Structure 1
Amino acid sequence: MSSILLFEFPSFNLYSTPLLLLVLQAFIFAFLLLHRYFKNKYIPALILALLIFITGYHRTTYTIGFMDWYDTYRNTKINYWLIALTLAIGPLLFFYVKSITTINFKFVKKDILHFVPVLIFMIYKIIIFIYDASLPGFNETQNGYLKLNLDEKYVQPLVGIIENLQMLLYLAFTFQLYYHYKSKIRQFFSNTYKLELNWIRNFLFIYAFLFLYSVFQNVIGNLIIDLHWTQRWWYQFFSAVAIIYIGIKGYFTNTNTLSNINFDINVRKSTKIVLEKTDKELNERKLIIENFMNNEKPYLDPDLNLTQLSRMLNIQVQELSETINNGFQKNFNDFINSYRVQAVQNMLNEGKQKKMSLLGIAYECGFNSKATFNRVFRKLTSLSPSQYLQVQDSAR
């Protein structure tokens, strides 16, 4: 009497359970972000919801595999419908960062071109299913003729190469967009810790890490040694953990900070002409600004920005920006923070550190975070605040 090995689905084991829990949570955050989009018409929420959903959806194949779906249902057709949508990840990354860093961002018709490859791939997958389903014996097998002899043999490897090249390009474009944004806000804001949105940086680094890890794993698995499915599980696990972090941070991080800020000014650097004003007029404006900064101390406001200072001085934003850039040879961020650092130094020289902490002094002088204070102080003095204090103490 022959024994029959029975497989049971679902199998909750060391490999399937973590993925299942993480993927389900990812779908929950995707739903919450989608709800935010429909409630507030906030486009970044929609894009992030799609990113999280697709990244979680890709984990579904491996989750049900580790739960013994394929062993239990040997003629399953689920491989036809678990369509790899990785071709959409790169464009969504780019548009997510662009939607945050662009005022009044809206999709335009030409943006659909970025998603043509994934749309073509989806149509192709539907076509091979229709064809295979029309062949006799399709119900008794897991993968039909085209799935085996065309899709898995030729198309999937080709699509994998295209996905990697596309992802590399979109990551490069997106990082360029992010760093251009960081450079731009330094012309407008005195404290950029929150406005630089470290969330965007972390978000991009996570997807860059997953991309590089995937490439490394595929190179090892295809060219060096055949990796066991348990070894490939780690990429799925890291991806699932990453989308939970992205879901939580993306949902609770306010990325709408700059919605009312106008960046549309040209900051031209010139030693001869500044908005067709003479050097004398430039020096007059410099003197006005210096006197105002020393007497009124607007830099003590941690939220001070270029627009606010221009209103205080009754100087046009563009004139003020170009005076700071060309007259003081600094961007707005460095210009304001130089006064804050000087104020900190003055308080330290007066011995205020005996009654207050260094961080407390920094807050008194207009800084809004420890990270910004330490970075700016070291940049402008070549010493950390504690090192500066040690030098002062030894000089007394």
Structure 2
Amino acid sequence: MFLFPYFNIHSTPLLVLVIQALVLVGLLLKRYAEKKNASDAILAILLLIVSYTQICYTVGFMGWYDTFRNTKINYFLIPAGTAIAPLIYFYVKSVTKSNFKFLKQHWWHFAIPLSIVVYRLTIYTYDALQPGFNETQNGILKIELDEPFVLPILSIVGFSVMLLYLAFTIQLYVNYRQKIKQYFSNIFKLELNWIRNFLIVFTILFLYSSIQDFIGSVLVDLGYDERWWLNLCMAICAIYIGLKGYFTDTTKLNKLDFSFSPERISIPEASKDSKKEVENTAIQAIEALMQHEKPYLNPDLNLSELAKQANLTRGQLSEIINTGFQMNFNDFVNSYRVNAFKGMLKEGKHKQLSLLGIAYECGFNSKATFNRVFKKLTNFSPTQYLQSLAG
């Protein structure tokens, strides 16, 4: 038995990582106090809960529980997944929803973890009133009620809650990625690949934890050392999430409302032929605007700006593009940019500028977006297309 504090290969890495995670929690809370970004507060609380579970394991590996045998830590090892799951959901929602605010009704998402905290405090209070409690680690309710009956139930509840919230959050993110294509012409800076990585990290941790719990409860008893690897992974992931969350701008949509529904152009009572004629006129007007005014050359062009130029509402313009051109807004605008790029190549512009330089002149704002869009719309890379012209 080693006396606390015992620094070893298990405790030292966790200690260093946990301290760094807590520093990031402090930085996020400081920025929240200054700028009031909900995403900073939610991520800080998420990291704090993850760090709390790591602290419990860290001091264990440092010999605390061996040195102080009557520590009541088992009462306060709350199943963290029931709180982490809704925090993951609200963090992604706070980043992908413009002007997000945490409302009173959102507290219902935390009913389970809050109930667990109240339950644990209740059995702790009861056990603390029993004689001899100070000389033992666990009291009568912890031994006879919590461990044999409640903990197995909480394990199932925690698994179910995390699975459901991860599914909801992934759906939320996928819907966001589809939505921005209906509003923005350049989406590279708004794709939020950081959020994709954030969800991948927690999905992997969830799978790892679930497999470990299954093995530990069904196949073979896993000791403290065997469970160390999961805690190390969680600590490393906490640092990654904290750093990326702090240094990534997650406020891009704060002052922008791109919530709208496609709507038909209002047409008085008329025949189908008349309606078709009006729709064709609207399509031709949009084509003329794109060809003569060339709004697509503006890399920041979005649905609102183009709708103003076309004297339409956002919903009307979206409906025309979706039904008349069979495209979303992003593909519609970028198709003009690709055609402009092709025209410049035929004019020999590549002899004066790089392909990327030409792409920027045509309204693209990133190399990754340009290459991906060009390949999607032409089935050629820009270089292959240029070679085909030369051939």
- Determine if the TM-score, normalized by the shorter chain, exceeds 0.5: yes
Tell me if structure 2 keeps the 8 A contact 1:25–1:244.
yes
Is the Cα contact below 8 Å between 2:307 and 2:313 reproduced in 1?
yes
Find 2:198's aligned residue among 178, 197, 203.
203
> Given residue 281 of structure 2, which amino acid in structure 1 is its aligned partner?
E
The alpha carbon displacement at 1:164 in A equals 0.5
Q: Mark the CA change 1:332 to 1:12 in structure 2 (over 3 Å): closer, same or farther.
A: same
Which amino acid in 2 is paired with 1:341? V
What is the match of residue 297 of structure 1?
294
- CA separation of 1:152 and 1:356: change in aligned 2, threshold 3 A: farther
Equivalent pairs counted in the alignment come to 385
Match of 2:76 among 56, 75, 81: 81
Partner Cα distance (1:198, 1:168) in 2: 21
Q: Is residue 346 from structure 1 mapped to residue 343 from structure 2 by the alignment?
A: yes
Q: Where does residue 46 of structure 1 map in the other structure?
A: 41
* 1:315 matched to 2:317: no
Distance 1:233 1:303 in 2: 48
Shift of 1:183: 1.2
* Residue-by-residue CA offset, 1:67-120 (whole Å, 9 max, x unaligned): 111111112122323433321111111112222222332233322211111111
CA contact (8 A) 1:378 1:384 kept: yes
User: Percent of aligned pairs with the same residue?
Assistant: 55
Corresponding residue to 1:335 among 322, 332, 335: 332
**Residue type of the alignment partner of 2:138:** N
Deviation of 1:186 after TM superposition, in Å, equals 1.0
Asked if the contact 1:275/1:319 (under 8 Å) is kept, the reply is no
The gaps in structure 1 that reach 5 residues or longer are none
Of residues 383-392 and 236-245 in structure 1, the stretch that sits farther from structure 2 once superposed is 383-392
**How far did 1:297 drift?**
2.1
Q: Is 1:276 equivalent to 2:267 in the alignment?
A: yes
Q: Which moved more, 1:43-52 or 1:338-347?
A: 338-347
Amino acid paired to 1:143: N
1:264 paired residue among 259, 262, 266: 259
Moved more, 168-177 or 296-305: 296-305
Instruction: Flag the 1:288–1:62 CA change in 2: closer, same or farther, 3 A.
Output: same
Question: Which amino acid in 1 is paired with 2:332?
Answer: F
Contact 1:77 1:143 in 2 (8 A): yes
Deviation at 1:354, TM superposition (A): 4.3
Does residue 368 (structure 1) correspond to residue 368 (structure 2)? The answer is: no
Q: What TM-score do the two structures reach when normalised by structure 2?
A: 0.92
Of 123, 126, 145 in structure 1, the residue corresponding to residue 140 of structure 2 is 145
- Give the SS at the match of 2:185: coil
- Aligned with residue 207 of structure 2, among 199, 204, 212: 212
CA distance in 2, matches of 1:168, 1:387: 44
Of 224, 239, 244, 1:244 maps to 239
Q: Deviations over 1:334-381 (max 9, x none)?
A: 101111122222333344444443333322222222222222112111
Q: Is contact 1:353–1:361 with CA below 8 Å preserved after alignment?
A: yes
Report the 3-state secondary structure (helix = DSSP H, G, I; strand = E; otherwise coil) of the residue aligned with 2:93: helix
Q: Does 2:386 correspond to 1:389?
A: yes
TM-score by length of 1: 0.91
Partner of 2:163, secondary structure, is: helix
> SS of the residue aligned with 1:190?
coil
Q: 1:92: which partner in 2? A: 87
1:187 equivalent in alignment to 2:182: yes
Asked if residue 34 in structure 1 is aligned to residue 25 in structure 2, the reply is no
**Which deviates further from its counterpart, 163-172 or 7-16?**
7-16
- Cα 1:392–1:112, aligned 2, differ >3 Å: closer, same or farther? same
Alignment partners' CA distance in 1, 2:26 and 2:335: 45
Query: Which residue is 1:175 aligned to?
Result: 170
Give distance in 1, aligned partners of 2:258 and 2:85. 26
Would the alpha carbon gap of residues 230 and 349 (structure 1) be closer, same or farther in structure 2, given more than 3 Å must change?
Answer: farther
Cα displacement (A) at 1:65: 1.2
Q: Distance in 2 between matches of 1:64 and 1:359?
A: 54
SS in 2 for 1:267: coil
Q: Report how far residue 387 of structure 1 moved.
A: 3.2
Secondary structure of 1:231 counterpart: coil
Structure 2 regions of 5+ residues with no counterpart?
A: 269-274
The separation in 2 between residues aligned to 1:249 and 1:86, in whole angstroms, is 21
In structure 1, what is the Cα distance between the partners aligned to 2:101 and 2:253? 15
Residues 357 and 15 of structure 1: CA distance in aligned 2, closer, same or farther (over 3 Å):
farther
Q: For residues 212 and 360 of structure 2, what CA distance do their matches in structure 1 show?
A: 47
Counterpart amino acid of residue 335 in structure 2: S
Is contact 2:100-2:254 (8 Å) kept? no
Q: Is the 8 A contact 2:262 2:318 kept in 1?
A: yes
Q: After superposition, give the CA deviation of every residue in 1:35-60 in whole Å (9 maximum; x if it has no partner).
A: 22222222121111111111111111
* Rounded Cα–Cα distance in structure 2 between residues aligned with 1:284 and 1:392: 35
SS in 2 for 1:302: coil
Q: Which secondary structure does the structure 2 equivalent of 1:194 belong to?
A: helix
Name which of structure 1's ranges 274-283 and 195-204 shifts more when overlaid on structure 2.
274-283
